[in-house]
Chain A
Amino acid sequence: MATVAEELERRDALQGIGCSRKRKEDPRFVQGKGNYVDDVKLPGMLFADMVRSPFAHARIKGINKEKALALPGVHAVLTAEDLKPLNLHWMPTLAGDVQAVLADEKVHFQYQEVAVVVADDRYIAADAVDLVEVEYEPLPVLVDAHKAMDPDAPVLREDIADKTEGAHSKRVHHNHIFTWEAGDKDPTDRVFEEAEVTVKQEMYYHRVHPSPLETCGCVASFDKVNEQLTVYITSQAPHVVRTVVSMLSGIPESKVRIISPDIGGGFGNKVGVYPGYVNSIVASIVLGRPVKWIEDRMEHLSTTAFARDYHMTGELAADKDGRIKGLRVHVLADHGAFDACADPSKFPAGLFHICTGSYDVPVAHVQVDGVYTNKAPGGVAYRCSFRVTEAVYVIERTLDVLAQKLDIDKAEIRRRNFVKPEQFPYDTALGWQLDSGDYHTALDKVLKAVDYEGLRREQAEKRAKGELMGIGLVTFTEIVGAGPTRTCDILGVGMFDSAEIRVHPTGSVMARMGTITQGQGHQTTYAQIIASELGIESDKIQIEEGDTDTAPYGLGTYGSRSTPVGGAATAVAARKIRAKAQKIAAHLLEVSEDDLEWDVDRFKVKGVPGQEKTMTEIAWAAYNNVPEGMEPGLEAVDYYDPPNFTYPFGAYLCVVDIDKYTGQTHIRRFYALDDCGTRINPMIIDGQIHGGLNEGFAVAMGQELPYDEEGNSLGNTFMDYFIPTFVETPHWETDYTVTPSPHHPLGAKGVAESPHVGSIPCFTSAIVDAFSHLGVTHMDMPHNAYRVWQKLHELGLDKRD
């Protein structure tokens, strides 16, 4: 008779769901045997480098390639003229716009690609870049999004000048991209007119950049003999890249192989198709040799997918007890020179309309106006879950403003407005259905852990002494796991995801998914899911991703979608295998299927001890002894179309002390409670939380990519772009609750972006709170010492008597 202890032992041996097992991918990384794109070396490989524009807006009068071509070791110098016959000088973006692959007659942002040189090695290529002579005629520059739709604003996009139908709406101005709305305008406006209290806060979510430590790059290799194209690429979405490349090049998808090998961090920066990739592919096809392109850091920060640049106005209507009656949000979205956002195609503002947050908001309206400027293209990136960073920022900040106006404690006002547990699944006023949540419990747990009341008392004492201490509080709900194919597609391909699992005769497993890890630990976590579903040790389960020749079609990894969608596909595929295994077990044990029950790693005949078959035994039988009419083998595929998104949530609290003479902020404490539903590997979750919090800290406290009036990109090296070191980074405290998702096969929601989404408004909230007794309701990021000092200097707090 199996004891509880014995059953636990068998479960532990699996190292499945819930186990903080060490990662299976680590041994190769710690031995320097990772395989990143720049590690790839193919015979005959050449190196590509880009000639880039020093001007933000200019006409190209002429390009002289002579000197560059004369340099020994240079094989080609290509410009838009060379790409025109192939119709590749422009390419479609994921947001329904087009983007120049090489500048066609004019440049639209500083460092835009103007020509590509291909040479024997990167040293010669760098020399050749200096030798290409480009003559520019500078044009007036537009960098202020607020001026983009002025009547006399410079025309940026001459290529679509007469296009009045945009991809998402009518275009009312040559610099207008789209206007997008969600919710109900008239009822919302009425609520605001009639409300007892209203607040309005303008806030700027500044332009930043995900900056993974590995920059973007690829090795493109066109095999002339077999007419096959192979591209090693830093991509978070290899199958999408394959489809796009096939569409652009005319090479059938079956002859295009995209390989995302090991990727040194993605964070949403490696989703789009960059001109560098297309140029390398063209060069490889033209020259018949592999071509490698690896950008350097300055190119990376200046031209690849930036994040945010949302000018937001948040408004709340409420009663005098702080109960929200309505939400109104307007956004001016600065997309740079091309709308290259990686959003699901129907959502030009991503999932921004999750901005009702964790609160029961009866009516709401959101409007987003997108505009062009002379800056690098993009907007959706950096652990944002498709603009959820912006959405959570606007609701959390505006709610704090309401709390301050009514003199209601910031925790209390949240309690009064939370969606209650019994209201789930909850339909928001902007069209989402929150799957599950327990916001009160999460908040209470955090407040108790930090002794919130004690902190408020301490703050009062410090204020009496003229010291600046702030407490920031954020209770966020975010939306991940894009997404149901009826609403979510990338260039027309529905955002399902997939898993293919095969059990070998001797009981080990090979599985492939359509997602692609960039450090999230998929080789471990997917193995853990399969281990728990199939009763096979996760050590015996091999996970592969990223090679489009072998992996089933998937939409990739970004927006925290791997666990919600890929993880679901994995569980469902595994359950298909277990269903077949049950039939085989019944056949082996000569009972009916209904006589069997599943116990950790084996099927047992109910009520007959000793009559059992382990999955390993069943695996062997699958290849030589299956029931009449059943085909041999033990494998399954699942393409999972999620019924809904998932909605992880959390409560974060931050305590800061500000030096009133320098503006420096010391993060005294950061307490992060996350609820991502079922937790697959707690150790990995904690690692993700630490990382997301650190990136949030960087964004809130120092990162910025400003432009001057000439459109010069400032701060585009690590000299200025704030990447915190060990010394600046605070100690992170993590906690959790578990509220499973009712619609997910495992109840799991995804977690990696929550810490970034939630921490950024939390830091802001803390810093503003340090000044709130002086009437300050908001301060824009980044909260570097310089900017904080400007506020305290303005308030006269640094005066000495």
Chain B
Amino acid sequence: MAKQHVSFKLNGQQVDVLVEPRELLVHTIREQLGQTGTHIGCDTSHCGVCTVDLNGQSVKSCTVLAVQANGGEVLTVEGLADAEGLHAVQQAFIDEHGLQCGFCTTGMMMRAYRFLQENPDPSEEEIRWGMSGNLCRCTGYQNIIKAVQSAAQKLQQA
């Protein structure tokens, strides 16, 4: 199938790629654009490790075609930190031991990042429900919840 030109903003920078219509956004991000922080964990859109922020929403980039990102804005883990340092979410994951093998962590943080904008002062129950699209095998979730709570506090103080 003929390739199409797709253009979007990735972490604030304009990018241009040629893709087949069937190319999944996660593959474009990882392979054409070399940003391997976003991972792939399943084939059925369940695990959430591929979560990115697309046009201000958390989406599973394995279930979005690259062509659908045309003209949009994509934020991945590589775009979370800024010149001043790590984002509050990233620091909180370190502070609260919210990661072990790190494989789910990038998608988890991208979801936490957007979730805290949707709900800046969540209860534990709301965190569990709001993050239920991201699976983890290593942590048992408990410290991730603490990380999200810690980030929520820091972000509210800022």
Minimum Cβ distance to chain A for residue B108 (Å): 10
Say yes or no: A723-B135 contact (C-beta < 8 A), given A683-B97, A729-B141.
Answer: yes
User: Quick check: is B67 within 8 A (CB to CB) of the other chain?
Assistant: no
In the complex, which residue of chain B has the Cβ closest to the Cβ of A692?
B140
Bitwise interface map of B from 87 to 130 toward A, beta carbon under 8 Å scored 1, else 0: 00011011101011111111001000000000000000001110
Identify which of residues 207-222 in chain A touch chain B, using a CB-to-CB cut-off of 8 Å. 211-215
Decide: A29 and B137 in contact? CB cutoff 8 A: no
Task: Report if A32-B97 is in contact (Cβ < 8 Å); known contacts: A690-B143, A717-B44, A718-B42.
Answer: no
Interface centre among A121, A717, A718 (most CB of B within 10 A): A718
- Cross-chain contact A296 with B43 (CB below 8 angstroms): yes
Among A261-313, those with CB < 8 Å from B are 262-265, 267, 296-298
A604 to B19, CA, bound (A): 68
Report yes or no: B86 in contact with A30, Cβ–Cβ below 8 A: yes
The A contact surface, by secondary structure, is loop
Hey, which chain A residues are within 8 Å of B27, CB to CB? 122
A226 at the interface (CB under 8 A from B): no
A684 interfacial contact with B, CB 8 Å:
yes
Interface secondary structure of B, over-half rule: loop
B-side contacts of A36, CB under 8 Å: 36, 39, 103
Q: Is the CB of A723 within 8 A of B137?
A: yes
Segment among A167-175, A239-247, A518-526 that sits at the interface with chain B: A518-526
Q: How far is the CB of A530 from chain B (nearest CB, A)?
A: 21
Asked whether A23 lies within 8 Å of B137 as measured between CB atoms, the reply is: no
Check: A727 CB closer than 8 A to any chain B CB: yes
Interface size class of B (residues with CB under 8 A): 35 or more
Cross-chain contact A519 with B102 (CB below 8 angstroms): yes
Q: Counting CB contacts under 8 A, is B54 at the interface?
A: no
Chain B residues near A123: list those with CB within 8 A. 20, 22-23
A34 proximal to B (CB < 8 A): yes
Chain B residues near A211: list those with CB within 8 A.
Answer: 137
Contact B99 A725 (CB under 8 A): no
Q: Which of A264, A695, A729 has the most CB of B within 10 A?
A: A264
Chain A's nearest CB lies how many Å from the CB of B114? 15
Kindly state the separation between the CA atoms of A32 and B103 in the bound complex, as whole angstroms: 9
B69 contacts the other chain (CB 8 A): no
- Chain A residues whose C-beta falls within 8 Å of the C-beta of B38 in the assembled complex: 32
Bound-state CA distance A370–B3 (Å) is 54
Whether B99 pairs with A30 at a CB distance below 8 angstroms is yes
Judge if A38 is at the interface, Cβ distance under 8 Å. yes
Give A34 to B38 CA distance when docked, in angstroms: 10
Contact yes or no, B41 A213, CB < 8 A: yes
Q: Knowing A213-B49, A690-B143 are in contact, say whether A520-B100 is a contact too (CB < 8 A).
A: yes
CA gap between A267 and B138 in the complex, in Å: 9
For A23, what are the chain B residues with a Cβ–Cβ distance below 8 Å?
94, 97
Whether the pair B37, A33 counts as a contact (CB closer than 8 A) is yes
A263 vs B100: C-alpha distance in the bound complex, in angstroms?
Answer: 10
CA distance A732 to B142 in the complex (A): 8
> In this assembly, does B81 line the interface, its C-beta being within 8 Å of a C-beta of chain A?
yes
Number of A-B contacts (CB under 8 A): 179
Instruction: Give B40-70 as 1s and 0s: 1 = Cβ < 8 Å from A's Cβ atoms.
Output: 1111101101000000000000000000000
> Nearest chain-B residue to A294 (Cβ)?
B40
Pair B138/A519 contact, Cβ less than 8 Å: yes
Q: Is A606 an interface residue (CB 8 A)?
A: no
Number of A residues, CB within 8 Å of B: 57
Provide the bound-state CA to CA distance between A265 and B80, in Å. 24
- Interface flag for A163 (CB, 8 Å): no
In the bound complex, do residue B43 and residue A212 qualify as a contact, i.e. CB atoms below 8 Å apart? no
- Residues of B near A684 (CB, < 8 A) are 97
Chain B residues with CB under 8 Å of A27's CB are: 86, 94
CB distance from B49 to the nearest CB of A (A): 6
Q: How far is the CA of A526 from the CA of B101 in the complex (A)?
A: 16
Given contacts A27-B94, A32-B36, contact A726 B43 (CB under 8 A): no
- Residues from chain A with a CB closer than 8 A to the CB of B40 are 38
- Tell yes or no: B17 within 8 A of A by CB: no
> Is A22 close to B, CB under 8 A?
yes
B-side contacts of A26, CB under 8 Å: 93-94, 99, 102
In contact, B42 and A265 (Cβ under 8 angstroms): no
Q: Given A31-B86, A691-B139, A691-B140, are A297 and B36 neighbors across the interface (CB < 8 Å)?
A: no
Given known A30-B94, A36-B103, A213-B135, contact A264–B39 (CB-CB < 8 A): yes
Task: List CB contacts (< 8 Å) of A688-740 with chain B.
Answer: 688-695, 717-719, 723, 725-727, 729, 731-732
Residue A687 interfacial (CB < 8 Å)? yes
Return A211 CB to nearest CB of chain B, in Å.
7
Per-residue A-contact encoding for B62-85, CB less than 8 Å = 1, 0 else: 000000000000001110110000
Beta-carbon nearest neighbor of B129 in chain A: A727
Interface residue from A34, A121, A727, A732 paired with B102 (Cβ < 8 Å): A34
A562 to chain B, nearest CB (A): 14
Decide yes or no whether A39 CB sits under 8 A from chain B: yes
**What residues of chain A lie closer than 8 Å to B143, measured between beta carbons?**
686-687, 690
Chain A residue with minimal CB distance to B102? A29
A691-B99 in contact given A32-B35, A32-B36, A726-B131 (Cβ < 8 Å)? no
CA–CA, A267 to B103, complex, Å?
Answer: 14
Given known A27-B94, A31-B78, A297-B44, contact A213–B142 (CB-CB < 8 A): no
Q: Does B132 lie at the interface of the complex (its beta carbon under 8 Å from any beta carbon of A)? A: yes
Taking CB as reference atom, which chain B residue is nearest A518?
B101
Known contacts A694-B141, A732-B140; is A29 also within 8 Å of B128 by CB?
Answer: no
User: How distant is the Cα of A520 from the Cα of B44 in the complex, in angstroms?
Assistant: 28
Determine whether B145 belongs to the interface, using a CB cutoff of 8 Å to chain A. Answer: yes
Residues of chain A in range 30-77 having any CB-CB distance to chain B below 8 Å: 30-34, 36, 38-39, 41
- Name A30's closest neighbour in chain B (CB-CB): B90
Whether A729 lies near B140 (C-beta < 8 A) is yes
Name the CB-closest residue of B to A697: B140
Listed by A's residue number, 12 A-B pairs whose Cβ atoms lie within 8 Å are A29-B99, A32-B37, A38-B40, A122-B27, A264-B39, A264-B104, A695-B137, A717-B46, A718-B44, A723-B46, A723-B135, A731-B142
Further pairs besides A34-B102, A687-B139: 4, Cβ < 8 Å: A214-B103, A519-B100, A687-B138, A690-B139
B residues at A contact (CB < 8 Å) = 20, 22-23, 27, 30-31, 34-44, 46-47, 49, 76-78, 80-81, 86, 90-91, 93-95, 97, 99-106, 109, 127-129, 131-145
* A interface residues with partner B (beta carbon < 8 Å): 22-23, 25-27, 29-34, 36, 38-39, 41, 121-123, 211-215, 262-265, 267, 296-298, 518-521, 683-684, 686-695, 717-719, 723, 725-727, 729, 731-732
Query: 3 closest pairs, A vs B, by CB?
Result: A32-B37, A264-B103, A519-B101
